[in-house]
Structure 1
Amino acid sequence: MEIALRQPYYDSILLIERLHRHFLEVLKVELDRLGIQDINNVQALILYNIGDDEMTVGELTARGYYLGSNVSYNVKKMYENGYLVQERSPHDRRSVRVRLSEKGLGLRDKVSALFERQIESLDKGGLSSEELARANEIMRKLERFWSASLDYSNFTMTSAA
């Protein structure tokens, strides 16, 4: 059974990475189409995920599964370009909370419109809601598997020695 799983497992890892890169390229093309040059595709996705919420960089990292240093850098750039508003937390002066500015809300709405256009086109691409739900179910199983693998008490490595 182990040998039968090897290639499909490896293919899944590569496909997930490739899908993410393709999606980011779609987002980049949309930003270019809109003539938006002061934010990149990753920053636009972070901005979209903030939505109407207000949160710390740590909360954003946990919610979006972004790398911490990249989130801090991207939040700084989005703030400098007017997409985010930053405020010190009244409860913890070390903590900075971010939310979308008017400019950020406008871009979030444009990204949302892109998603809506894509959703309307999914059936033309041969994807049903049931197929997407099944794919999501499988990806959640992989996520749980990888999360459980991080619990080192359950993770054993065999030595080749």
Structure 2
Amino acid sequence: MKQTYLATIVLLERMHRQFLEVIKSELEGHDIRDINNVQALILYNIGGDEMTVGELTLRGYYLGSNVSYNVKKMTEHGYLHQERSSHDRRSVRVKLTEKGLELSRLLEQMFERHVEAVADSIDEDKLGAANESLRDVERFWLQQLGFGPRVAEFSRVETAA
């Protein structure tokens, strides 16, 4: 069991890096150089919504300090619009600008291409079973941290089986 568990951890970490490289390649293919792959993924997760930085942290499972830095950079490059809440001056709401929406649509098109291509090589039931196992690992790790399961409705990507 130990070897299988450790192999899962290594695979998850490697897949995460590879996925970010896929996004980086997509950005480079469209000559987009003013945003990085992590920031592009944050934009995709915001989509057409408007939310606080705290909600973005919960929704995208990003660390707060990283989100704040990335939000600042995306705002500077014209991908995000920030507005301080009139009710709570500490709270900042963010939404995509037209430039941000264009990039979000570009990633959506990339995901559509991926779905078409992956359907030819990976059975949907096998992918669903893999997702189920990964959710079990996620639940275990959250329990180790003293947290309950993540709330799926906050994520743009549906994680329920």
Common fold by TM > 0.5: yes
The reply on whether 1:51 has 2:47 as its aligned counterpart is yes
Gaps of 5+ in 2: 148-161
1:52-91 equivalence runs, <5 A: 52-91=48-87
Q: Compute the displacement of 1:26 (Å).
A: 0.4
Residue of structure 2 equivalent to 1:27 = 23
The residue number in structure 1 matching 2:156 is none
Cα offsets for 1:31-68 (capped at 9, x unmatched): 00000000000000000000111111111111111111
Displacement of 1:90 after TM fit?
Answer: 2.1
The unaligned stretches of length 5 or more in structure 1 are: 153-161
State how far apart, in whole Å, the 2-side matches of 1:79 and 1:60 are.
15
Aligned partner of 2:104: which letter? R
Is residue 131 from structure 1 mapped to residue 116 from structure 2 by the alignment?
A: no
TM-score normalized with structure 1 length: 0.88
| Partners of 1:22 and 1:6 in 2: CA distance | 24
State the distance in 2 between where 1:98 and 1:151 align: 30
Q: For 1:37, which of 27, 33, 36 is the aligned residue? A: 33
Secondary structure of the residue that 2:83 maps to in structure 1?
Answer: strand
Secondary structure, counterpart of 2:90 in structure 1: coil
SS in 2 for 1:52: coil
4+ aligned runs moved over 2 Å, structure 1:
none
The higher radius of gyration belongs to: 1
Equivalent residue, structure 2, for 1:156: none
Number of equivalenced pairs = 147
Cα RMSD over matched residues?
A: 1.1
**Identical aligned pairs, as a percentage?**
62
2:60 alignment partner AA: G
Q: Distance in 2 between matches of 1:121 and 1:84?
A: 31
2:121 corresponds to 1:144: no
Q: TM-score, normalised by structure 2?
A: 0.88
